[in-house]
Amino acid sequence: MAITGDEHPESSQWGFLNSCLLLILVLMIFYCSWVNNKIVTRGYRLSELRKTEKHLIEEQGKLEAELATLKRPQNLARLARQLGLKEPRSGHKIVMP
Amino acid sequence: MKRIKRESKKERRSLQNRIRWVAGLVVFCLSAVVVRAWYVQVINHDHYLARQQQQRSANLLLTCKRGEILAADGGRLAVTVKGKSLFANPQRIKNSKKLARVLAPILGQQATILERRLRSKRSFVWLKRSLTQSQVRALAPWCKKEKGLAFFKENQRIYPNRELAGQVLGFTNIDCCGQEGLESYYDKYLKGRQVYLEREYDAKRQVVDSYEYPELDFYKGKTVYLTIDRHIQAWAEAALAKAVTGSRGRGGVALVMNAEDGALLAMAQYPGFNPNSKRKNNPALWRNRAAVDLMEPGSTFKVFTLVAALASGRFKIDDKVDCEQGKYKVGRRTIHDTHEHGLLRLDEVLKYSSNIGCSKIVEQLGPQCFYDTLKKFGFGARSGIDFPHEPSGRLRSWRRWRPVDLCNIAFGQGVSLTPVQLTAAYAALANGGYRVVPHLVDKVVNAAGWTVYEFRHKGLKQRVCSRAVARQVDGALAQVVADDGTAPRARIPGFRVAGKTGTAQKFDFKKKCYSHNKYWASFVGYVDPPAGQSRKVVYVMVDEPKKSIYGGMVAAPAFRRINQHLVSYLNYTPDAELVELAMPLAEDAAGACDDSADAFAAEPGGGGESAADANPAVPAAPIVPDFTGQTIREALARISRYRHKVKISGQGRIVAQQPAPGSRLEPGVDFVFKLSSEI
């Protein structure tokens, strides 16, 4: 048995409006949680990347210090002597114009 | 039909009622939420905000990285790296005795001391700070195993060049605060600022970073650029070490200063010290003797007597002084010269380093005139070097000088100064008469690349003597390295060298008189650079040399070695007209001082130099070889052991020579080489 023709048009509009509002509310809640979740996930990722960056900078600092130790003049002179090189005296060096 | 309609109406009413109830309930709930939100967000806003902050975030105190110290050539002299330290929470350690036994050999500490720390009632104790890489590797498994044991990352100061300029750089303490040397003097620029960093945490206390992360580089310490050049410093240290060990000295100092602006290119000291392992060294070695130790200059001071004489206008360089044949009485005391001299010109007084000549000059000048000249050069005051604890030199007021004091000061006794002060005074003579402020730091640059401090030469306008006087004194200093001067060993082939030797007696504070076996042997001078470059004043001092005591024998060879590197490094071109064969260095035979030096008997009391003694015996006249077709370098290498002057004309290989091949090489004859014009 179908009931037709005598439904109140105002109440159906009101129900539709309610449903729309509810849908918007649900969508907003979903959107807010999604954004929040994204922020937190990105935050973790950012934190990891910063940790890696910090570690790499520290490593770079250590390597630069090691390079400076290896390139210290006494070390270079010792290695040069081992390779049979001699320090130039005055007049040995020719400066090209 | 009517019944159906009635029932339908009834159902609709009941549905509407239910909807009203539900809507009413929803409205009520929402109102409750709104009321609660109002209460939380508006009425109790501050309270809940504080609670939220407390739970989600924490403020971390970060000490930003200490700035670097760079050499003039760009080399890193002091850097900060992240190191690891070991700490423990004794409350969480179960078997402290066993753990202490395991950790003791790794940390190099006593097991009992470690155990006492591990039994502490506190919740945080340091076990070892600034661990080495091998220690970190060995401890890593234990940190994973033991819950109460962990690493803590913190800044660690490293000096990659080890002993190089150790005393100049100084060091920091474990918390990276400057304690000695430049680390202490420039601490305000070098130290990193402490900043609070707010970090957010989740429920599991994991860090959730926000995008608003502070730029920590902005807070780190500034970079300090030194005037010290690593290569020149290394050569100065090597030459000094050779001079000190060769003469069996107690220690020594070598300085290289740019005469134009007072920038120190090298500040060497022997024995050196490694700031990386400062605790292993004797604390006496931490002191930078060149900047903080006072010493009597001895004969190197005579040059200022000459300046005072010439600047007064009462003397000319050609004027003669009677040197009384080596003995001169002043009051009850007798002043001696190492050699007997009669009439000497003013430049010869310097050349032969006559104590009597200097005494007679200042007697005629008077104390006030002499004192005024010395004050102009900055003696008796601080030089203004950017290094901590510089003492002002000792120069008493002329009103308190007795006649014998006046004479003593004229030849460098009774006045004390630091090596830096003496070198700065020589720099003033070398640059034509302008006073310089010695300095070690060129500029300080922040993380953004802005220069926050730059050395500005304040003394450049202050003239201490006229250019004419400086030129005349320069001529006199050049004679000191002549064959019959006190320092022929300072000569460098192809370059004009000027300088002065010094052999100063040390004062024995126990006996309250000058010692007869303890001396400072020194040499200070410079090499003439090509046009457009400034002179570099080189000072070498050996403390208590045993093998020979004379500056010309002990310090002059080191001066020469440093300058040989310097002229090559700074691209000085040798002057063909000035190519003169230098005396072979003692290092070619044995050590820095040969035994012949000891045979040169001299009176040790006077502090003067023995000119003739500094010259080794000339070998017998040999046959001149044929140099035709050889390069000038090959020819110089072959004849380098004879002290003959060489004149060269042309370029390329030798096509003609004088003396002729096969003839006897007579003393005093110059070699003349004509070279082909081809290259």
Q: Say what percent of chain B tops pLDDT 90.
A: 56
Neighboring chain A residues of B210 at a CB cutoff of 8 Å: 43
Higher local confidence (pLDDT), B494 or B239: B239
Same structural domain for residues B246 and B349? yes
Dihedral sign from CA coordinates of B254, B258, B259, B264: negative
Q: What residue in B sits closest to A46 (Cα-Cα)? A: B209
Contact B439, B227 (CB under 8 A): yes
Per-residue pLDDT of B73-115, as tens digits, reads 999 999 999 888 999 999 888 888 999 999 999 998 999 999 9
Say whether pLDDT at B453 is over 90: yes
Q: What residue in A sits closest to B206 (Cα-Cα)? A: A44
CB contact under 8 A, B207 and A47: yes
* pLDDT band with cut points at 50, 70 and 90 for residue A75: very high
Dig out the tokens for B314 from the structure.
Answer: 């009462």
Per-residue pLDDT of B12-48, as tens digits, reads 888 889 999 999 999 999 999 999 999 988 999 999 8
Last residue of a domain, one of B202, B224, B246: B224
SS (H, E, C) B240-276: HHHHHHHCCCCEEEEEEEECCCCEEEEEEEECCCCHH
Same structural domain for residues B344 and B248? yes
Last residue of a domain, one of B195, B224, B253: B224
B331, B346, B439: which is closest to B385 by C-alpha? Answer: B439
Is residue B288 in some structural domain?
yes
Same structural domain for residues B36 and B153? no
Q: Which of residues 141-200 of B touch A (CB under 8 A)?
A: 158, 160-162, 164, 200
Question: Has B610 been annotated as catalytic?
Answer: no
Same structural domain for residues B211 and B257? no
Say whether pLDDT at A19 is over 90: yes
Least confident of A56-60, B170-174, B662-666: B662-666
CB contact under 8 A, B495 and A66: no
Residue listed under structure tokens 């970090």: B199
Same structural domain for residues B564 and B496? yes
Query: Least CB-CB distance to B81: which of A65, A90, A93?
Result: A65
Query: Least CB-CB distance to A89: which of B210, B568, B571?
Result: B568
Same structural domain for residues B167 and B93? yes
- Catalytic one of B299, B353, B354, B416: B299
Last residue of a domain, one of B564, B584, B614: B614
Average pLDDT over residues B5-11: 82
Same structural domain for residues B606 and B658? no
Domain that holds residue B36: 2-43
* pLDDT band with cut points at 50, 70 and 90 for residue B614: very low
Residue listed under structure tokens 């002499």: B370
Amino acid present at B643: R
B185, B188, B183, B174: which is closest to B126 by C-alpha? Answer: B174
Is residue B55 in some structural domain?
no
Contact B160, B79 (CB under 8 A): yes
Note the pLDDT of residue B650: 79
Same structural domain for residues B318 and B190? no
**B151: CATH:** 3.90.1310.10
SS (H, E, C) chain A: CCCCCCCCHHHHHHHHHHHHHHHHHHHHHHHHHHHHHHHHHHHHHHHHHHHHHHHHHHHHHHHHHHHHHHCCHHHHHHHHHHCCCCCCCCCCCCCCC
Say whether pLDDT at B374 is over 60: yes
Same structural domain for residues B389 and B501? yes
- The continuous run of DSSP H or E covering B541 comes out as strand B536-543
- The continuous run of DSSP H or E covering B6 comes out as helix B2-38
Note the pLDDT of residue B123: 86
Same structural domain for residues B587 and B536? yes
B407, B408, B415: which is closest to B380 by C-alpha? Answer: B415
Radius of gyration of chain B (CA): 38
Is residue B423 in some structural domain?
yes
Per-residue pLDDT of B506-539, as tens digits, reads 988 888 888 888 999 999 999 999 888 899 999 9
Neighboring chain B residues of A44 at a CB cutoff of 8 Å: 206, 208
Scanning B352-413, the segments in alpha helix (DSSP H) are: 355-365, 367-376, 403-410
Same structural domain for residues B290 and B436? yes
Residue listed under structure tokens 């304690």: B179
Is residue B658 in some structural domain?
yes
Higher local confidence (pLDDT), B64 or B203: B64
**B292: CATH:** 3.40.710.10
Is residue B454 in some structural domain?
yes
Q: Distance (Å, rounded) from C-alpha A26 to C-alpha B646? A: 102
Is residue B51 in some structural domain?
no
Chain A contact present for B605, CB below 8 A: no
Residue A57, min C-alpha distance to chain B (Å): 9
Per-residue pLDDT of B413-428, as tens digits, reads 999 999 999 999 999 9
Number of domains chain B contains:
4
Is residue B486 in some structural domain?
yes
Same structural domain for residues B217 and B237? no
What value does the mean pLDDT of chain B take?
Answer: 86
Phi and psi at A73, nearest 5°, equal: -55, -40
Is residue B49 in some structural domain?
no
* pLDDT band with cut points at 50, 70 and 90 for residue B138: very high
Residue B495, min C-alpha distance to chain A (Å): 9
Amino acid present at B305: T
Query: Least CB-CB distance to A58: which of B81, B238, B633?
Result: B81
Question: Three-state DSSP class for B63?
Answer: strand
ipTM: 0.71
The DSSP result for B152-178, as a single string, is EEEEEEE-TTTTTTHHHH--B-TTS-B
